[in-house]
Structure 1
Amino acid sequence: MNAATEATHWILTMSCPDQPGIVHAVAGMLAEHGGNITESQQFGDPTSGLFFMRVQVESAASSDELTTAMSKVADRFGMTWTLDVVGRRIRTLVMVSKAAHCLVDLLFRERSQRLPIEVVGVVGNHRDLEDIATFYGKPFHHVPVTKDTKAEAEATLRGLVKELDVEVVVLARYMQILSDELCRDLSGQIINIHHSFLPSFKGAGPYRQAHERGVKIIGATSHYVTGDLDEGPIIEQDVERVDHSRTVEDLVGIGEDVERRTLARAVRWHAERRVLLDGRRTVVFR
């Protein structure tokens, strides 16, 4: 078996204060470990003063060897970084209410289009979508939420995240607001789809709001969840043109198509380690 056969395809991402020598140090470390770089993207943000980099590299070095070597580079430059395997499916918990389109799309893409996630469970505050989860062979967890039971429901959710070793939570039209504490604890690990082109039409009923304003485009926004409603760092957005003849129901139907593809792209990019946080913004290496 030759070295190329034995090599693992890795993803290395990093961010740190921008300064000379970062790329040279990272590339040099990888070369010392027999690394063949297959993809490299980088960005220096003049506003935040941070440098971002994503590298895919083939190397026969072990995870421990690369981690030890990269830790030395990270200490030198004050880096935040991750190391993962290209194509590894990340353990995903999907949360839903009654709208089915985003859940169906994610499960279909996972099964047939190699979306790099492993949906380990579906959580619903209603039972409406339990049959869809069952059809795709996914455990369904009914966790009802009321004003009086919200703390208990979030405790159940935390238990599932821990028990199932969840890496990302996807709110696929989950129509409940998560607590500030939960958002902080899972910062950068909860992805939401909002049925509006943020920052316009936040909160409930955005298609009705859009219709009342006579908009000429409608859209959807996928973003990380924070304690501020619909204010988290944006991962992806998309739009469709509409005109004065469209009813609210028309906008909902068109919007559902936009929501599906916007959420799927955001989840894919997150799973592929293409999204790096830059304060209230994101850097997305497509």
Structure 2
Amino acid sequence: MESVMKKRIRLLISCHDQPGIVAAISTFLNHHGANIVQSDQYSTDPEGGRFFMRVEFDQNNDSITFEALKTAFTDVAAEYKMNWRMEQASRKKRMAIFVSKEDHCLLELLWKWHSNELICDIPLVISNHDELRDVVEGYGIPYYHIPVSKERKAEAEQKQIELLHQYNIDVIVLARYMQIISSHFVDTFKDKIINIHHSFLPAFIGANPYAKAFERGVKLIGATAHFVTDDLDEGPIIEQDVLRVNHRYSVPQLRVAGRNVERVVLARAVNWYLEDKIIVYSNKTVVFS
């Protein structure tokens, strides 16, 4: 399996829908000695809509490097005005986790990473509190405690950004990191920050969603994983799920039920990102199976 993954490449494409796209990609891959192993596509409207495609292929031509293949594909991409990226399946993405005091989402990610269910490297965890240091360092991962106050928030974020660049981070996961991220931070890592919101968005945006859900008498409790944008809890949604509850649930019981959904939803979203299954467009996502 490891030898297969060394040859496996993923290509993600988004462009204006028009005739000839699939044929052009297939012809290009065939010409360069590639074998397509999986291909998924979606169009918002065949008559002038948006076209999305994800292709997995094995590069069997050892005479061409991955970088050379990417360079060669630019001609096809330019012809169809594609937004695209090509990724080697064998390259593990480098994921940073941000956390505050609650550990359920953090522990889910660490356990799945340790069990090789999340294929990535985790070079560091950053927190505005020090409570979870022993947990993280028990996995052999560096833990950086960077306190955040209103007066020194910009300074704290600059330290975080420097660390993320130092560790060449590909994706940032907010595993119940209870701080609002600045526009500068979001712009620096556009479409690379995944958050878990403890509610089924767009319901109960902001703080204390379980108390709001209790007051509303909900019969379903949910969670939403989404990309972070400048608009609080309104970024492109990646995954959502729910659990059924009833009138007997107190606010603390809703929180317990919600945590179970949160950790599952976040882990799914992270895994899809690591496997290059997500394309962001407008304020939505296409998630390929």
TM-score range, shorter chain: over 0.9
Give the alignment's TM-score, normalised by structure 2: 0.95
Whole-angstrom CA distance in 2 between matches of 1:162 and 1:214:
45
Letter matched to residue 51 of structure 2: F
For these two proteins, the number of residue pairs brought into alignment is 283
- 8 A Cα contact 1:196 1:207, kept in partner: yes
Q: Which residue of 2 aligns with 1:50?
A: 50
Give the whole-Å Cα distance in 2 for the aligned partners of 1:194 and 1:5: 37
TM-score by length of 1: 0.96
Measured in 1, the distance between the counterparts of 2:94 and 2:197 equals 22
Gap regions ≥5 residues in structure 2: none
Distance 1:192 1:100 in 2: 14
Shift in Å, 1:190: 0.2
Q: Which amino acid aligns with 2:157?
A: E
Q: Which deviates further from its counterpart, 19-28 or 107-116?
A: 107-116
For 1:25, the equivalent position in structure 2 comes to 24
Question: Aligned letter for 2:146?
Answer: V
Which residue is equivalent to 1:59? 59
- Pairwise mapping of residues 1-286 of structure 1 onto structure 2 (< 5 A)? 8-46=7-45, 49-61=49-61, 62-286=65-289
CA deviation map 1:139-193 (0-9, x unaligned): 0000100100100011011101110000000000000000012112211000000
Give the distance between the partners of 1:7 and 1:119, measured in 2 at CA: 21
Structure 2 letter corresponding to 1:260: R
Measured against aligned partners, the alpha-carbon deviations of 1:248-268 in whole angstroms (never above 9, x if no partner) come to: 111111111100110000000
Q: Which runs of 5+ in 1 are unaligned?
A: none
SS at match of 1:245: coil
Quote how far apart the aligned CAs of 1:117 are. Answer: 1.9
Shift of 1:87: 4.7
Report how far residue 90 of structure 1 moved: 0.7
Structure 1 residue 224: Cα displacement: 0.2
Secondary structure, aligned partner of 1:220: strand
Query: 2:5–2:89: 8 Å Cα contact kept in structure 1?
Result: no
Relative to structure 1, the CA distance from residue 6 to residue 94 in structure 2 (aligned partners, 3 Å threshold; closer, same or farther) is closer
Deviation per CA, 1:21-77: give whole Å up to 9, x if none.
111000110011111111100111239922111000011242023112211100111
Matched letter for residue 54 of structure 1: R
Which of 7-16 and 243-252 deviates more? 7-16
Q: Find the aligned partners of 2:254 and 2:177 in 1 and give their Cα distance.
A: 19
Cα pair distance change 1:51/1:6, threshold 3 Å: closer
Report the secondary structure of 2:190's partner residue.
Answer: coil
- The one-letter amino acid of 1:251's match is L
RMSD in angstroms over aligned alpha carbons? 1.6
